[in-house]
Amino acid sequence: MAEIKYNWTYEEINTIFNTPLLELIYKAASVHRKYHAANRVQVSSLLSVKTGGCPEDCSYCPQAARYHTNVKVHKLMEVGEVLQSAQNAKANGASRMCLGAAWREVRDNKDFDRVLEMVKGINQLNMEVCCTLGMVTEEQAKKLEAAGLYAYNHNVDTSEENYSNIISTRNYDDRLNTIKNIRKTKITVCSGGIIGMGEKAADRVAMLQVLANLTPHPESLPINALVPVEGTPLENQQTASIWEMVRMIATARIVIPDTQVRLSAGRTQMSMEGQALCFMAGANSIFAGDKLLTTPNPDFNEDMEMFKILGLQPMEAFQHHKQKEKAVLND
């Protein structure tokens, strides 16, 4: 059950996904303990370095220019401001800093050069630095690598079949191609998706199958619960229940045992008990800080209180890889 493999069939994952919930949590918790220190949770900080005005039509996203949301467009931030923000996040216990830009793709211009400076600066703070900037070419990925980028986030978001219902301005292969370009470097891959967009259970299973058959596996796998934002096509969408979230996290943990599963967007809607079940089911990372990119996130002090109650400790930077090496040595 806890083996690492890259040839998962839809049926295999579907069987795991449909396991009675408590049994599923138990299995996922067992896998989690085999590959990770279960009391360690990575605290990442998110910063929107370029906000809104995006040409894409992702129906969940408040930053798409074509939807009328309350998001204020902001041009690319200055390097100094970003480094200050990273320093503050580090002082609050964050070991990873994730920079997001509302771009369709990276262009070879002054703005990209500035992002490279941000990456260099954060790397010097001894934090894991992650970027999510849209599509990248192999050459751009190499520049990010040279600047010291640790991870690149590029979500597949949903199943290939459902993709065109959510986004029409790019296709699934565009997404997979960027992941391939990142894989041509030493940068680690962060890729996951969103639940609660009106997709079927079959789409969730199919999405996990795509991620579980990427070779190598993504080192990090965010599971977001849709945050419905006024003005977007999904504004009235019924949000995913905590049970759906737990089932998704547990299945992800079992099919990709050694990844960091990130309990990402949607935590403001979840109780502490609900989040505890997510950690039990194998989630080992959160975004902390009162804002995600543009939407609210739980209060930082409340999260630290939750860690205290649940006996969780923030993970240090670059630990995940060290732990993985140790697990291999102990085998």
Catalytic residue annotation: 54, 58, 61, 98, 130, 190, 262
Closest CB 27 distance from ligand DTB, rounded Å: 25
With respect to ligand SAM, which residue has the nearer C-beta, 42 or 63?
63
Cβ contacts of 81 within 8 Å, gap of 6 or more: none
In the complex, the residues that contact ligand SAM under the rule CB under 6 A are 60-61, 63, 100, 102-103, 132, 134, 154-155, 157, 194, 224, 226-227, 229, 265, 293
Shortest distance (Å) from residue 168 CB to ligand SF4: 11
What letter does residue 40 receive in the DSSP assignment?
Answer: E
Residues near 141 by beta carbon (within 8 Å), at least 6 away in sequence: 152, 181, 182, 184, 185, 187
Do residues 60 and 158 lie in contact, with contact meaning Cβ atoms separated by under 8 Å?
no
Shortest distance (Å) from residue 267 CB to ligand DTB:
11
Residue 43, phi then psi, degrees to nearest 5: -105, 115
Considering the complex, what minimum distance in angstroms separates the CB of residue 112 from ligand DTB?
18
Give 153's Cβ-side CA count (13 Å radius): 27
Q: Which of 116, 136, 109 is nearest to 99 (CA)?
A: 116
195 contact, one of ligand SF4, ligand DTB, ligand SAM, none, CB 5-8 Å limit per kind: none
- Pick the closer one to ligand SAM by CB: 147 or 226: 226
User: Which amino acid does the sequence have at 206?
Assistant: A
- Contact between 156 and ligand DTB by CB under 6 A: the answer reads no
User: Is the Cβ of residue 61 or residue 151 nearer to ligand SAM in the bound state?
Assistant: 61
296 and 269 Cβ atoms separated by less than 8 Å: no
Nearer to ligand SF4, 90 or 154 (CB): 154
Residue the block writes with tokens 């995600």: 292
In the complex, minimum distance from the CB of residue 258 to ligand DTB, in angstroms, rounded to a whole number: 19
Q: Does 209 bind ligand DTB (CB under 6 A)?
A: no
Supply the minimum distance, in Å, between the C-beta of residue 99 and ligand SF4. Answer: 13
- The answer to whether residues 94 and 44 touch, using CB atoms and an 8 Å cutoff, is yes
Q: Which does 226 bind (CB under 5 to 8 A by kind): ligand SAM, ligand DTB, ligand SF4, none?
A: ligand SAM
Beta bridge partners of 97: 45, 129
Q: Which listed option, ligand SAM, ligand DTB, ligand SF4, none, makes contact with residue 64 (CB within 5 to 8 Å by class)?
A: ligand SF4
Note whether 167 and 129 are within 8 A (CB).
no
Which is nearer to ligand DTB, 27 or 228 (by Cβ)? 228
Residues lying near ligand SF4 in the complex (CB under 6 A) are found at 54, 56, 58, 61, 63-64, 102, 104, 134
289: contact with ligand DTB by CB under 6 A? no
| Residue 278 backbone dihedrals phi, psi, to 5 degrees | -65, -40
Helix (H, G, I), strand (E, B) or coil at 322: helix
155 binds ligand DTB (CB under 6 A): yes
d(CA 79, CA 49): 9
Stretches 10-18, 211-219, 221-229, 302-310: which one binds ligand DTB (CB under 6 A)?
Answer: 221-229
Rounded distance, CA 190 to CA 174, Å? 16
Complex with ligand SF4: residue 41 or 54, whichever CB lies closer? 54
In angstroms, the CA 226 to CA 264 distance is 10
Q: Which of 25, 43, 127, 227 binds ligand DTB (CB under 6 A)?
A: 227
